[in-house]
Every structure is written in structure tokens, then in C-alpha cells.
Amino acid sequence: MASHGIKDQVAIIGMGCTQFREHWDKGVDDLLIDASSAAFASAGVAKDDVDAFWLGTASSGMSGLTLSQPLKLEGKPVTRVENFCATGSEALRQASYAVASGAYDMAMAIGVEKVKDSGYQGLNAPPAPHDGTKRNLTAAAMYSLVLPAYAARYGVDEDELRMVVAKIAEKNHRNGALNPLAQFRREMPAEKICEMASVAGRLSVFDCSGVADGSAAAIVVRAEDAHKYCDDPLYIKALSFVSGTGGGLIDPDYDYTTFPECDMAGADAYRQAGIDDPRSALAMAEVHDCFTPTEMVLMEDLGFCERGTAWKEVLAGTFERNGDMPINTDGGLKAFGHPVGASGLRMHYECWLQLRGQAGDDRQIDLSTRNLGLVHNLGGYPGEMVSFVSILGPELG
Amino acid sequence: MRGIISFGGYVPYRRLDRSAIAAVMGRGGGRGTRSVASYDEDTTTMGVEAARLALRSSGVDPRALWFATADPAYLEKTNATAIHAALRLDSSTGALDFGGAVRSGIGALRTALESGGPTLVVAADIRGGLPTGADEANGGDGAAAFVVGGEGDGPVVAELLGTASATEEFVDRWRQPGSPSTGQWEERFGETRYGPLAAQAWKEALGAAGIGADDVDVAVVAGAHGRAVKRVSGQLGVARVADDLAGAVGNTGTAHPGLLLGNELEQAEPGQTIAVVVLADGVEVLILRTTEALAAYAPALPVADQVANGADVSYATFLQWREMIRVQPPNRPEPTRPSSSAAARAQDWKYGFVGSRGTESGTLHLPPARVSIRPEDELDAMDPAPMADVGATVVTFTIDRLVYSVSPPVVFAVVDFDGGGRLPVELTDVDPDSVRIGQRVEMTFRRLYEAEGIINYFWKARPARSSSGQ
């Protein structure tokens, strides 16, 4: 693997995140202004102090003008990036590399999505001109293929597995209920989710991420400069990205129980960060729970448990906020909501709060033995996806 | 000796029980069932299915393709070219539409029988009318295809003995382009016109064939005017009149003479004389005699098998598919039109279902790729892989109730092809509850959707109906 990483070379010195919800009263401009203003305030800097900007949005605007116009940025470079649902993380990755290279002293990564102006339910991106032979299937249906495949491979009863993934939604709703920025603030028992009508395979609407508007932003500087701005910066230990071949769609050996792109991105990130055993090294992980089966499979792909055991660990409570391996303590895509371009930065925002002990008494995880956090953010479908993994920590070394 | 080398009839999978009409509407309908083209079928796709069966039984490379229908998917643009593309015929093979009139179906067949070179003749129709009307109940949907040629082109299973035409202008049945229903003059009028015309053409055709009516073993009699067909059937003086498939399929209009003839040929013995009499704005008569080659002829999927293996569609769904009622679509964006230039570049894939196979790895790529997913294949080291006639097995599947569809829910499966290769593909002609892992499927050419007047054709998989899928 030829990725060298930039461990401890870049630090986050401030972050901001809007509430994720149906912002009928706010447009893309408002969301960008709110998230960036919060990030500037968090870092104690002004917009003119930032040398360069990376804007992530999947389909809420094109070009850097989407950011430079509402913020009235004078003479600054703004790069718009898009990488499916990993767009926000991609913006952070590019901003971090720009700072690490020495090209800029301070950069902002900001992600935004205004999905509720389309007039349609769910996420909708206008397709590029096409030959008309592309699959006509929702992401929910593609991810629903995981359940029967996993049940068959590991000999788990399909009804039991359905309850297992509902428990994942239950946990994320429980976490979201405590989070003032989350879209959904109500708990949702797994039994109730299982009783709901199926919309794709055996998945109900409550197995899918929340559809929300929102924005989140981070300001990064080189690590040696971090303490000029901030007493408790968050250091970037690893940034990994894998864009798949799409081979899973046509490879008869692919069995829909794993996402190889995520496995590879995780392994690369662990190498960059020097982590041998993620389960013992990581205090928390924010992972891409776009659909409940996704979170289950990710527990294995990211090495948090052995293959074929994630479903048992879910039932054992391992991934609860007070469990051995807290996952999606902010509610995840499920309860926090999923404004595509913003989600990756929202995940980092939760690490920013938790790993610095700022999550608040009712939400704060235990950092007494471990203080590293992982963010996993993917885009696409089983068989053809992009995957991002970062690792963050409050200490150098 | 020129005649029919091979043939294929296509009866769509769905059947409307005619009694369901009166159950909803209080009147209309009748006994038996009629065939119903699915929401993702049109005359072009049904023509492709019939033509695939005809070509599978002969292996002849036709030099011309003629397509006839009274319900063309496109006006202005040739529909036969989509069939040509789906069959992967050579670009030097001409493709023409015989358009508009019911008579064009038998007309194309007769013209092919009387001209030169191996010719593929395809006829298809979707028959309907306003709810409770006779056309709605008695119509049927289907297609028929014939490979016509001489001895040099392939073994002729039915040679042409003689033909005749009788033509007269009278307005008996008529339909404006785009209209959902056909007008009909008082029935007695047409009946009195067709009787003498049929007698005239029948006499002339028998004379041309040099035989008498009692030499004819079976007569196929077809036409949209039911009373006239009945009357003419009784006046021919033949040993037997062919089953008109009215009870199970209905009258498939432009396709009907071919469908009935194919059905007879599939059951005929060598040396039998078959007459085809078609009443459509005049009368067309063909007289054929089956040859010894028929004994060795194996139809790819007999019409009778297709008639026997259908599944019901509810009257409500039928009305929806025919756009007689509009239902609330899912609150999702409608699909966008395919790009003509992108579709043209992808013609072999989109219309012919041709993937590519790595020359070293043998790995199948659907759609075709220049770079293999296996490292041992060099760039562009790919062979074309035609997959339309390769059977496959369902590996896993899902039901999508969220995605946009003309007829939700979408049933989607991951299928593995015999001999290697995989594709996630939409299933059709299937009830969601009946899909099983391990189920055998085969590819079928369908109309995925229409956007801005452009029809998006591509392939789906359906539960295996023919031997290639088994």
C-alpha cells in the first residue's frame, strides 16, 4: 500500500455543525453561513484568516461559488468536491492534505446538503446523460440484499437477524434522542420497527437514514500551529479513501456479506495510524449506518469483531454508548439525519466533541483507557462503493 | 421452392379472465381469458421475442427484416430497427416497417413468400378498446415471426402453393392514431362485404395452387370482424378450420394469422395442406403445404406451451397497464430519457445484451468493459460475449417498493449465468411472492420506460419459459 498518511501533521482547531432536520426556513446559503460561522467561532478565527476552502456537496450546488458567494470570500480558492455520501469527508481529506503540503496555513472543509427542496421523498440526484441500461433500484433495496446473504452465510435465522438490525436502529435512535442537533429525538423500540411495513426487502423506513438538511465544517492547520488557536486540538492520525472497481456487481464470488472497499480503507487507516487492534485502541467510531444492515457488516469490515459475530455483539450491547465499542454515539445517519455532503463532517464533529470530553454529561463516553476515534463514511452500493476512513485523537504520538 | 423455414409465436405471460370485467363494471367481458402484454412490453418487444424463437429454430441469417403492426411503438421512426438490433442482425440487412393496418401482417408474410432472399417477417399487436367493449374482451396481445426463404437458405418446412388477394375500399373498422379504441360500422355491413370477397379470393388461390377445397387439411381464418370470420369459415368447404385461440388468447389482430399458422405448423405432419384466409379490408389467401423437413423441425417454444403457461392479471392492473386508469405514482422523480448518442455507442449491450469476456481470465463483464476486473487480462483484451440466450440462476433477490416504476413493486435479483458471470437485474413476468433463490431465469427484451417520448428498451430476466433457460 503506497499511502503514507499524514499522521499528526494536521490538527482540527474548530468545528461547527447545524442542526440536521427539515430546514424549510433555511436555504443552502443559510446552512453554509451557520456552519462556517460556528466553526470560525469555535476556532476563534475570522473568515479572512482561512487561506483555502473545500466545499463538499453532492447536488446542492456546483463550483466554489456555492460557498464564496454567500460568505463573500475575497480572493480565496474554493474547491467543490463530490464523492457520493462520503463527500463531506472528502472535503476534510483534501483540506488536510493542502495544509500538510505547506501550500496553505489554514483551510476549511465544509459540507452541505439541502435535500428537502426537491419536492420528493428520499435522496435524489439528477443523473448524467446515460444509455438507459443502468439499474433501477433504490439504495435501500441494494442494501437489503445483505440480510438474506448474511443469514445464509453464517446460519442465522432471518427473523432473528431482522431483529438484530432493528436493534441497531433502536440504539441509534436512543443516542439521537439525547443529541440536541439530531433530526430524530425520539426513541424507537426494535419491536416496533420489526412490525412496520417493508419498503425494500425486509427493511422498513426506520431501517433507513433520516433525510435531512444540514451543514458541518472543520478548520484545519498544521499540527505545530494548532496551539496558537486552540488548547485542545484534535489531531488527524489517518485519512484513507478507496474507490471500488464495481467488480462486486459482476463477480460471482461476491456474496453481499462484506464491503471490501471498507475493509481496505480501514486496513490502510490502521496502518497509517499504527493501530494493530482497533477494538482495543479505539474509544469510539462513527460509521456510515445508511441502512441498518450496513452498520452490522461494517463492524466486521472495520475489524471491531470477527466475521460472522457482529450480530451477536449487537445483541450483547457491545456497540451501545456505554458498551465496549461505542458506535454512532450521536445517533448516526439513522437518527442524526443524512444531508449527503455534510454527513462526513458531522461524524468528525461527534469525534471533536467526544474525544475532547465536550459531548456533555448525558452523552459523554468513557475516555479513561482509550482516546482514539474512527470515522467511516461510504458512498454507493454493495458491490460498487467509495469508502473513507479517518482516525483522530486528542494527543500527538 | 419458396416457403417457411422456421417460425416463432409469442404469447405474453399475463391473462385477463374475461369474467373479471363484468365483476368490476357490471357488464362486458365474457368467457375464457385473453392474453395481456405486460406494462413493459410493446409490439416491438413482443416482436423481438417471437423473432428470437424463429431464429433459434433455423439458424438462417435473414437478409431483410419486415415488421408489421397496427400499434407501432413509434411513428416516423422505424420500429424494425430495434428488433434488428436486439437480434444482432448485420447492418447490411434491411429493416422495414409495414405499418398501421391489421392487413399489413399477412401482407408482409405474403410479400416475403413471393419475393427473394431469406426474409424475417415479424408481426405483433396489442389489442384493446374502451372498458366493457367487445374489443377489450375479445382482443389479445401477441406476436409471430417467420423466416421465409428458398431451399438454398435452409430446409423449407412449408412451401407456398398459391396466393390470392381481393381488395375493396369500405370503412368497416377504423382508428385515428393515438385513439384508445376502434370504431366499427354496423356489423352486418362488413359481413356482407367480406363474404363475396372471400369467395372470390378463395377460388383464385385454390386455382393458383391447383387444388380443390377438399384437398385442404386445415384453414386458418383470421380477421377483426368476428361475424365475417365465422361466416367465411363455414363457406370454405375444408376438412377443418384451425383453432382460433379465442378462448385463451383472444384475437391478436395483425399478429393473429401468423400466430394461428404457427400453432398449426407446430402440430402438423409433413404433406399437409394449410390455407390461411385473412379478412382485413379485403381478403388475403395463402396456401401452403408442409414438407418432409417438418418432421425434423423442433420449435423453440411452441405456442401451445405458452398458452398453457400463463398467470392472471387483475382487471384493475390491466386497466392501469393500458393507461385506461392512472394511478398515483411513487413520490420519486420520473426516470430521464436515455441519451441517443450514448445508446448508439452502447447498441450491442443495450439492444443485443452483449457483454465482454476477458481473453485470459474468461471473466464476464456486464456491461462490456475495456479494463478487466481480473489483473491477468490486458487492456482491451476482451471478446464479445452475447448473453441474451444464456440461462441464469437467481442467487439472491429483493423487492423494492420505493423505486419509481410504472407497475410497482420492482422485483430485483442477482443472477449468475450458466458458464460464469453475474448481473443484478430486474425481473419481470413474476409475482413477488414466488421468487426463490435457485430459480431459473432467462433474458427478455423489454421496454423499461418512456421519457419525453423516447422509449428506453433494455433487457430484464424472467422465470424460464423456454428450454434455453431450463
> Which cell is B114 given?
413471393
pLDDT for B404: 86
Q: Which of residues 178-207 of B touch A (CB under 8 A)?
A: none
pLDDT tens digit sequence for A181-210: 999 999 999 999 999 999 999 999 999 999
Please spell the DSSP secondary structure of B22-67, one letter per residue.
HHHHSS---SSEEEE--TT--HHHHHHHHHHHHHHTT----SEEEE
Using the Cβ of B391 and the Cβ atoms of chain A, whether some distance falls under 8 Å is answered with no
User: Average pLDDT for residues B415-429, to the nearest whole number?
Assistant: 97
The C-alpha angle A25, A31, A32, rounded to 5 degrees, equals: 150
pLDDT for B157: 98
Strand, coil or helix: what is B347? helix
Which residue is associated with the grid cell 485542545?
A: A232
**Dist. CA A185–CA A173, nearest whole Å:** 7
Instruction: Name the residue of chain B whose CA is nearest to A131's CA.
Output: B343
β-pair type (B392-400, B410-417) = antiparallel
Distance from CA of A336 to the nearest CA of B (A): 22
pLDDT tens digit sequence for A251-277: 999 999 999 999 999 999 999 999 999
pLDDT for A351: 98
Q: Which residues in chain A touch residue B366, judged by CB atoms under 8 angstroms apart?
A: 250
Query: Are A141 and B364 an interchain contact pair (Cβ–Cβ within 8 Å)?
Result: no
**Dist. CA A301–CA A332, nearest whole Å:** 18
* Lowest mean per-residue pLDDT among A72-76, A119-123, A377-381, B401-405: A119-123
- Residue B466: pLDDT band by 50, 70, 90 thresholds? low
pLDDT for B328: 85
Q: Which residues in chain A touch residue B342, judged by CB atoms under 8 angstroms apart?
A: 129-132
**Dist. CA B189–CA B330, nearest whole Å:** 48
Using the Cβ of B458 and the Cβ atoms of chain A, whether some distance falls under 8 Å is answered with yes
Q: Which of residues 351-370 of B touch A (CB under 8 A)?
A: 363-367
Q: Is A376 a catalytic residue?
A: no
Strand, coil or helix: what is B455? strand
Q: Which residues in chain B touch residue A201, judged by CB atoms under 8 angstroms apart?
A: 398-400
**Residue A239 burial class via C-beta count within 10 angstroms: exposed 0-12, middle 13-18, buried 19 and up:** buried
Cβ partners under 8 Å of residue B351, min gap 6: B82, B85, B86, B88, B445, B457
pLDDT tens digit sequence for B102-135: 999 999 999 999 999 999 999 999 999 999 999 9
- The one-letter amino acid code at A86 reads A
Percentage of chain A exceeding pLDDT 70 = 100
Mutation target for B interface from A118, A123, A131, A204: give the one with most B CBs within 10 A: A131
**Residue B195 burial class via C-beta count within 10 angstroms: exposed 0-12, middle 13-18, buried 19 and up:** middle
**Residue B452 burial class via C-beta count within 10 angstroms: exposed 0-12, middle 13-18, buried 19 and up:** exposed
Using the Cβ of A196 and the Cβ atoms of chain B, whether some distance falls under 8 Å is answered with no
Instruction: Name the residue of chain A whose CA is nearest to B424's CA.
Output: A249
Query: Are A136 and B399 an interchain contact pair (Cβ–Cβ within 8 Å)?
Result: no
SS (H, E, C) A82-148: CECECHHHHHHHHHHHHHHCCCCCEEEEEEEECCCCCCCCCCCCCCCCCCCCCCCCCHHHHHHCHHH
Q: Which residues in chain B touch residue A249, judged by CB atoms under 8 angstroms apart?
A: 422-424
Beta strands in B231-353 (DSSP E): 273-279, 282-290, 311-312
- Can you give the length of chain A in residues? 397
Mutation target for A interface from B402, B437, B446: give the one with most A CBs within 10 A: B402
Strand, coil or helix: what is B380? coil
Strand, coil or helix: what is A6? coil
- The one-letter amino acid code at A176 reads G
Q: CA gyration radius for chain B?
A: 22
Q: Mean pLDDT across chain B, nearest whole number?
A: 96
> Which cell is A157 given?
435465522
Q: Which residues in chain A touch residue B456, judged by CB atoms under 8 angstroms apart?
A: 132
- Cβ proximity of B432 and A229 under 8 Å: no
> Which cell is A24 given?
424549510
CA distances from A219 to A14, A40, A180 (A): 5, 8, 22
Query: Are A132 and B398 an interchain contact pair (Cβ–Cβ within 8 Å)?
Result: no
Q: Which of A132, A148, A199 is the closest to B343 by Cβ? A: A132
Q: Mean pLDDT across chain A, nearest whole number?
A: 97
**Dist. CA A288–CA A305, nearest whole Å:** 17
pLDDT for A127: 82
SS (H, E, C) A304-355: CCCCCCHHHHHHHCCCCCCCCCCECCCCHHHHHCCCHHHHHHHHHHHHHHHC
The answer, yes or no, to whether residue B392 has pLDDT greater than 60, is yes
Nearest to A241 by CA among A94, A396, A394, A78: A94
Q: Which of B350, B402, B456 is the closest to A138 by Cβ? A: B402
**Residue B36 burial class via C-beta count within 10 angstroms: exposed 0-12, middle 13-18, buried 19 and up:** buried
Catalytic residue, chosen from A23, A173, A288, A338, is: A338
Q: Which of residues 285-344 of B touch A (CB under 8 A)?
A: 331-333, 335-339, 342-343
B289 has which bridge partners? B159, B273
Q: Which residues in chain B touch residue A381, judged by CB atoms under 8 angstroms apart?
A: none
> Which cell is B325 given?
386508469
pLDDT for B468: 43
Distance from CA of B319 to the nearest CA of A (A): 24
Give me the torsion for CA of A226, A229, A235, A236, rounded to 10°.
-90
Using the Cβ of A136 and the Cβ atoms of chain B, whether some distance falls under 8 Å is answered with yes
pLDDT for B470: 41
B168 half-sphere exposure, CB direction, 13 A CA radius:
17
Mutation target for B interface from A124, A134, A137, A158: give the one with most B CBs within 10 A: A137
Query: Are A149 and B402 an interchain contact pair (Cβ–Cβ within 8 Å)?
Result: no
Which ipTM did the prediction report?
0.92
- The one-letter amino acid code at B432 reads P
pLDDT for A342: 98
pLDDT tens digit sequence for A18-69: 999 999 999 999 999 999 999 999 999 999 999 999 999 999 999 999 999 9
Q: Count helices and strands (H / E) in chain B.
A: 12, 22
pLDDT tens digit sequence for A68-111: 999 999 999 999 999 999 999 999 999 999 999 999 999 999 99
Q: What share of chain B is helix, strand, coil (3-state, %, to 5)?
A: 25, 30, 45
pLDDT tens digit sequence for B268-308: 999 999 999 999 999 999 999 999 999 999 999 999 999 99
Using the Cβ of B457 and the Cβ atoms of chain A, whether some distance falls under 8 Å is answered with yes
Instruction: Name the residue of chain B whose CA is nearest to A124's CA.
Output: B333
**Dist. CA B279–CA B269, nearest whole Å:** 26
User: Average pLDDT for residues B66-90, to the nearest whole number?
Assistant: 98
Percentage of chain B exceeding pLDDT 70 = 99
Q: Is A338 a catalytic residue?
A: yes
- Cβ proximity of A169 and A333 under 8 Å: no
Q: Which of residues 80-119 of A touch B (CB under 8 A)?
A: 118
Q: Which residues in chain B touch residue A121, judged by CB atoms under 8 angstroms apart?
A: 331-332
Using the Cβ of A134 and the Cβ atoms of chain B, whether some distance falls under 8 Å is answered with no
Strand, coil or helix: what is B145? strand
DSSP-derived letter for residue B386 is E
β-pair type (B311-312, A78-81) = unpaired
Distance from CA of A136 to the nearest CA of B (A): 7
Please spell the DSSP secondary structure of B169-204, one letter per residue.
---SEE--TT-SS-EE--HHHHHHHHHHHHHHHHHH
pLDDT for B469: 41
